[in-house]
Amino acid sequence: MKVILIFTTVSGEHEAVKISEALIGERLIACANFFPMKSRYWWKEKLEQASEVLMILKTLQEKYEAVEKRIRELHSYETPEILAVEIESGYAPYLHWIEKTVKKN
């Protein structure tokens, strides 16, 4: 099984909790971490800055499409950041826990 990390930024902690509770409850992800941060970016030809929350979601590659779909349904942004990175190596018992946790559904 390929374990992946999915990164998404949201408008605040309330939105991070809402999205993570849905994804964990549906067993689409094993775990979510979120951190407050400042962002600067171009949006509609204008330089913007915002306080956001970065979410790091742990799941399996086979769940990516379902996770992306749910994030898009629950997210407040018009074009949410949703990026996946494959884990090449890691602590085997932790990777097994992710697989076992997500595979239960």
φ/ψ (deg, to 5) at 79: -130, 85
Residue 48 has what pLDDT?
96
Burial class (CB in 10 A: 0-12, 13-18, 19+), 34: buried
Q: Model pTM? A: 0.94
pLDDT at 105 over 70: no
Q: Residue 97's pLDDT band (boundaries 50, 70, 90)?
A: very high
Domains for the chain: give ranges and CATH numbers: 3-103 (3.30.70.120)
User: What tokens were used for 30?
Assistant: 């094993």
